[in-house]
Chains A and B, each alone.
Chain A
Amino acid sequence: MPFHFANVLLFTVTAIGFVFLSLFGGKFLRPNNPTPNKSLIYECGEKPIGQAWYNFNPRFYLIALVFVIFEVEIAFMYPVASVYKSFIDHGQGLLAFAEIFLFVAILAVGLAYVWAMGDLEWVKGLKQDVMKAHQAQQSAAIMAKKAA
């Protein structure tokens, strides 16, 4: 067991060394004459306007939040999945299946909730508002027709 994880450490060290040595060795091969224009940030040939470190769209945050929940679920499911077969062999298959089913069902409810709340929609807000407004307009027109 320690042998296996010592390998992970060795691979990490070797990978870091691989990148470091090729970058360090390359230093003696490559030219190095930076100019102010070369060191600018690329923005389609224009001088960059302001910094890029500003707020980004909150939908990425929502995706990350949903991801964390399901990833934790996967992390919990793997140990169960790896012993499921031995449960069946010992005649406890139905019990294990019921437990897996319950666990997945609870998460499926979570997915259904996120879905129903529209958090999985990539295009948000404006389009839905426009559609709602459109529907309200249509129903108002129908009501007006009926009244007439």
Chain B
Amino acid sequence: MQAFLDSLIRGWGHDPQTWVWTQLIYVAFMGLFSFAVINFAAVTAGIFSWAERRVAGRMQSRVGPNRAGPGGFYQWIADAVKLLTKEDLVPTEADQFLFRIAPYFMMVGFACVFVALPFSHRLVIAEMNVGVFYIIAVTALIVVGIIMSGWSSNSKWSLFGAIRSAAQIISYEIPAGMALMIPVLLSGTLSTQGIIRAQGPWPWEWYIFHDPASFAAFFIYFISALAEGNRTPFDLPEAESELVSGYNTEYSGMRFSYFFLVEWGNMWVMSALATTMFLGGWQVPFLPVTDAADKIAMLSGGWTVLAELASIAIFTFKTLFFVFIVMWLRWTLPRIRVDQMMNMCWKYLVPVSFAAVLFVAGWMLVIHAVPALDWIMRIVLTAGGAITLVMFWLRTLQNIKDTGDKFDFTSNW
């Protein structure tokens, strides 16, 4: 973004290095962009809340919200208006100050991730050299918000929900951090854009298919991200049947909505991060961008714009695909027990992620000595992945043929 603003200033006939107003222009434009990005995050979270209910309805052979607008699409706007006009209750017994500032912590921890999260080849707020590390660091602010809301509510349900949630999130931060270390090892950079540039557009160039350990790391990251986002099967903090609603029991109206805005918005963050780290991000086929040669920048005129749009589309498609998988998991798997959840983290994911990091470090030494092995491994793993996908597809078709798809798409959509 800095390069874009510099070129803008140069277009006005000033030198960004010496012009006195440069800093002001930076602040004005970046303030505008930050507002746009936060609104984008809030709107996607709203749309996901609608999409989730539709997906849930489809999976449970019912309709889901379909009254407001086409396919019920305006439902999330109706919900937002409702939440805005609801009475804001703060219990008299609660710690008033902490109760009121907890949503700010949630929102700041969520919004700051977008500084380093890319959207396309050029569209990234700041190409930080510590990108991944920074993202892991700021997401930890959400835990502070959760603990604060649970403790300040002075409700037993909130307290239990909050400490349980905090224990879960911090536990799963270890395997998630170790799994994200593997793309860093392979690419030799912490910058999110740099990691995408180190991968390529084709599946065999992605880090997920680099070696068996990075394949495992992708799933470790995905499971840990589900747990960190309090998504089913790890939604123990909100286990309605035992904890009422967890840490947000005492919240109502707009203040309550921020907890869920962050939860749904997190689906985008975790999917976009998975896409960035393991699935080649925004790389466009036939136009690979590496640190050495940027094929998109070498294009001219309208083709640049087209390639840029293609990279946005590819990144969004991959991300939305994983958002869908997250919803799919939510309506497929039952909630797991708290001791199973802790066992899974500390006794399975943490040791496996340690082993995966060591394996990748060793494998890099091996392929440095014998480069041919690198390509053999990538192609074998990609072929394995492709065969699994095809088998899955055939199985699904077979199931549909056997039981019949009874959903009526024509009416009552």
User: Which residues of A pack against B, CB within 8 Å?
Assistant: 1, 3-4, 6-8, 10-12, 14-16, 18-20, 22-23, 25-27, 29-34, 36, 38-44, 48, 51-53, 56-57, 60, 63-64, 66-67, 70-71, 74, 77-78, 81-86, 88, 93-94, 96-97, 100-101, 104, 107-108, 111, 115, 120-123
Contacts and interface: CB of A to CB of B under 8 A. Distances in A.
Nearest to A69: B174
B91 A40 contact: yes
Q: How large is the interface on B (under 10, 10 to 19, 20 to 34, 35 or more residues)?
A: 35 or more
Contacts of A18: 35, 38, 42, 107, 111
Nearest to B338: A122
B38 A78 contact: no
A33 B89 CA distance: 9
Interface string B151-187: 1011111111001001100110110011001001111
Interface stretch (B273-281, B311-319, B326-334, B339-347): B339-347
24 contacts: A3-B126, A7-B125, A8-B134, A10-B31, A11-B37, A19-B258, A25-B84, A39-B93, A41-B153, A42-B157, A42-B244, A42-B249, A52-B154, A56-B159, A56-B163, A57-B163, A60-B166, A77-B357, A84-B185, A85-B188, A93-B364, A97-B365, A108-B354, A122-B343
A57 B254 CA distance: 32
B258 A74 contact: no
B85 A85 contact: no
B364 A115 contact: no
A22 B92 CA distance: 23
Interface of B: 1-2, 26-27, 30-31, 34-35, 37-38, 42, 84-94, 103-104, 107-108, 110-112, 114-115, 125-129, 132-134, 136, 138, 151, 153-160, 163, 166-167, 170-171, 173-174, 177-178, 181, 184-190, 244, 249-250, 253-255, 258, 338-339, 342-343, 346-347, 350-351, 354, 357-358, 361-362, 364-365, 368
Given A7-B115, A11-B114, A86-B188, A108 B254 contact: no
A66 B295 CA distance: 47
Contact of B107 (A8, A15, A30, A94): A15
Contacts of A1: 129
B391 to A, nearest CB: 35
Given A16-B107, A19-B107, A82-B188, A43 B354 contact: no
A16 B361 contact: no
B212 to A, nearest CB: 18
A109 B331 CA distance: 39
A52 B153 contact: yes
Nearest to A77: B181
Task: Please name the 10 residue pairs, one residue from A and one from B, whose CB atoms are nearest each other, closest first.
Answer: A85-B188, A122-B339, A15-B111, A4-B126, A74-B177, A14-B34, A39-B92, A67-B170, A120-B346, A81-B184
B89 A34 contact: yes
Contacts of B189: 82
A82 B184 contact: yes
Contacts of A8: 112, 115, 126, 134, 138
A78 B86 CA distance: 45
Contact of B158 (A26, A52, A57, A101): A52
Dominant secondary structure at the A interface = helix
Contacts of A88: 364-365, 368
Contacts of B177: 71, 74
Contacts of B86: 30
Nearest to A119: B346
A27 B100 CA distance: 14
Given A12-B108, A30-B87, A51-B93, 17 more contacts: A4-B127, A4-B128, A6-B30, A7-B1, A7-B34, A7-B115, A11-B37, A11-B112, A12-B111, A34-B87, A39-B90, A40-B92, A41-B250, A57-B163, A60-B167, A63-B167, A78-B132
Contact of B170 (A38, A48, A63): A63
Contacts of A23: 88, 254-255
Given A4-B128, A16-B104, A29-B84, A111 B350 contact: yes
B85 A29 contact: yes
A94 B361 CA distance: 10
B158 to A, nearest CB: 7
Nearest to A57: B163
Contacts of A40: 91-93
B167 A64 contact: yes
A74 B181 contact: yes
B112 A15 contact: yes
A122 B93 CA distance: 32
